[in-house]
Amino acid sequence: MTDKNMIPESGDELIDDVVVMTDDEGNEYLYDIACRITRGEDEYVVLVPQDEEDDEVVILKSVLVDEETEELVDVEDEALLVSIFEEAKALFADDEDDDAEFTDAE
């Protein structure tokens, strides 16, 4: 569910509900935070691209660096990614007022 050789780094920006990620060539991609899902003590952020031609959902783990700083880190556990993705799809399937749709983009 993550690709494009974009590994979130401390240089990636979180601006309100928009995440700016930069690939290896310096290209920036904008993602909206679709939802946050909590598993135990961990929180995961489900991102959808602002570019309508890109249908790839990105899931990252939220790590609080301090009271004001959130860092988004890559998730290695494929089973966890699939589980969070399915939960996010279910959340949006239940929300009739939201136009966002998730599709399997693997």
Is residue 6 domain-resident? no
Residue 42 pLDDT: 96
* CB hemisphere CA count around 41 (13 angstroms): 2
Is residue 22 domain-resident? yes
* pTM assigned to the model: 0.72
Spell out where 1-106 has E strands.
Answer: 13-15, 18-22, 28-39, 42-49, 58-66, 69-73
Q: How many domains does the chain contain in total?
A: 1
Is residue 46 domain-resident? yes
Is residue 1 domain-resident? no
- pLDDT bin (cut points 50, 70, 90) of residue 21 is confident
Residue 17 pLDDT: 78
Tokens of 32: 């909206």
- Its domain, for residue 64, covers 13-94
Mean pLDDT of the residues in the chain: 79
